[in-house]
Amino acid sequence: MTRIHIVLGSASDLESVKAAGMAETFDAIGVSYAVSVCSAHRNLDELDKFAKEAVKKATEVFIGVAGMATALPGALAGLTGMTTPVIGVPLDEHGVDSCLYMPPGVPVLMTGVGKAGLKNAAIAAAQIIATGDQTVAESLIKYLKDTKKSAKFNINLTETQS
C-alpha cells in the first residue's frame, strides 16, 4: 500500500526530488511512498485514471511537483474530487502563483519552493498521516528530533557584544 504518492509532471523533475532527500525522509519515518510521472497538460486522461486508481488503492496524500508548467497540483486536487490532500511544490519562483491561487473549494497545500519545499512536503505528508497512525507519529517525532538544527541567538538586549 502506497500512503504517499509523489507525482511529477516530467521525468526531468526527478533529480530535484532526489536532491531534496524525500526518499530518505520517508524511509526514516517508515511511510510507504511511490513516484510517478504524468503531465497534467500532455496526459490529462492518464492522470485522471492514475489519480482515481491511487485513491482506490488508499493513497493518503499526493505531492504534486510543479516544474515548468504548474497545473499538476490543482489538477490532482480536482481529479480526486478534493477528497485526498494535495501538497503542491513549485520547483522555482515561476510556479508559486499557480500553487497559491486555487479557486475556492480546490485546496492545494504549499510547503515552500524548490529543494526546501520538497523536504517540507515530505514532512508535512508524514504529519498528515501521523494524525491517524500512532506508529508514524512516534517515528516522525524521532525523525524531527534526530534532524533538528539548532540556532544560536542572544535575546538579551541590555548587554552589548564585543
The confidence band for 151, taking pLDDT boundaries of 50, 70 and 90, is low
Q: Which domains does the chain have, with CATH numbers?
A: 4-147 (3.40.50.1970)
The confidence band for 70, taking pLDDT boundaries of 50, 70 and 90, is confident
Q: What is the pLDDT of residues 94-106, one digit of tens each?
A: 888 888 889 999 9
Instruction: Look up the pTM and report it.
Output: 0.90
The confidence band for 156, taking pLDDT boundaries of 50, 70 and 90, is low
Position 85 pLDDT exceeds 80: yes
Confidence (pLDDT) at 129: 98
Cα 45 from Cα 2, distance rounded (Å)? 22
- Percent with pLDDT over 70 in the chain: 91
Nearest to 52 by CA among 44, 129, 14: 44
Cell numbers describing residue 109: 497545500
Position 50 pLDDT exceeds 80: yes
Average pLDDT, the chain: 91
Confidence (pLDDT) at 153: 67
Position 155 pLDDT exceeds 80: no
Cα 23 from Cα 63, distance rounded (Å)? 13
SS3 for 57-124 is: CCCCEEEEEECCCCCHHHHHHHHCCCCCCEEEEECCHHHHHHHHCCCCCCCCEECCCHHHHHHHHHHH
